[in-house]
């Protein structure tokens, strides 16, 4: 029997009407930040928004996800690729880790190429902090194009 990891996903409230298609596709295909689960069974136990600036739902949603067995919470790629990217993303990560003792991964699906191109031109992600945060969702160009 494969190991099973239970995860939750928190998306940016700007995309509150998102049906989760790219995140769920990436989870099913083990792409983007979900590539690390290649040999594991994964169960999604929660999916919600941050609650809008400054992310009030981040104080409470992880608790429910943890009660549902979440071991890892993914902060969705939308928090990275939106313009501007979420200024609270590292605060969210640090708070969830500290308050709930749950692992946190920045990103879900691979960054779509159209967002990658714009942010590269604008140098949005030029700092060492962003280079680290982007790693789980960069993927190769072919994969990024498939998420446009």
Domain count, the chain: 1
What's the CA gap between 77 and 105, in Å, rounded? 10
What is the structure's pLDDT at 2?
61
Are residues 81 and 139 in contact, defined by beta-carbon separation less than 8 angstroms?
no
pLDDT tens per residue, range 14-35: 999 999 999 999 999 999 999 9
3-state secondary structure of 68: coil
> For the whole model, what pTM was predicted?
0.94
Which range marks the domain in which residue 118 is found? Answer: 4-146
Q: How confident is the prediction for the chain on average, in pLDDT? A: 94
Q: Which among 40, 136, 35 is positioned nearest to 80, based on CA atoms?
A: 136
Are residues 97 and 104 in contact, defined by beta-carbon separation less than 8 angstroms?
yes
- Please report, for the domain that includes residue 22, its CATH number: 3.40.50
**What are phi and psi for residue 49, nearest 5 degrees?**
-95, 170
Q: Does the pLDDT value for residue 122 go beyond 80?
A: yes
């Amino acid at each position: 029997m494969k190991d099973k990891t239970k995860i939750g996903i928190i998306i940016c409230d700007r995309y509150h009407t998102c049906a989760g298609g790219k995140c769920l596709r990436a989870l099913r295909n083990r792409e983007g930040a979900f590539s690390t689960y290649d040999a594991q069974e994964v169960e999604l136990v929660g999916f919600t928004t941050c609650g809008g600036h400054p992310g009030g739902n981040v104080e409470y949603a992880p608790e429910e996800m943890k009660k549902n067995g979440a071991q890892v919470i993914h902060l969705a790629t939308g928090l990275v690729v939106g313009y501007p990217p979420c200024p609270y993303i590292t605060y969210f990560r640090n708070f969830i880790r500290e308050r709930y003792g749950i692992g946190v991964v920045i990103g879900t699906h691979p960054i779509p190429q159209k967002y990658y191109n714009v942010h590269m031109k604008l140098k949005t992600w030029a700092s060492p902090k962003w280079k680290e945060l982007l790693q789980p969702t960069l993927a190769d160009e072919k994969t990024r194009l498939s998420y446009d």
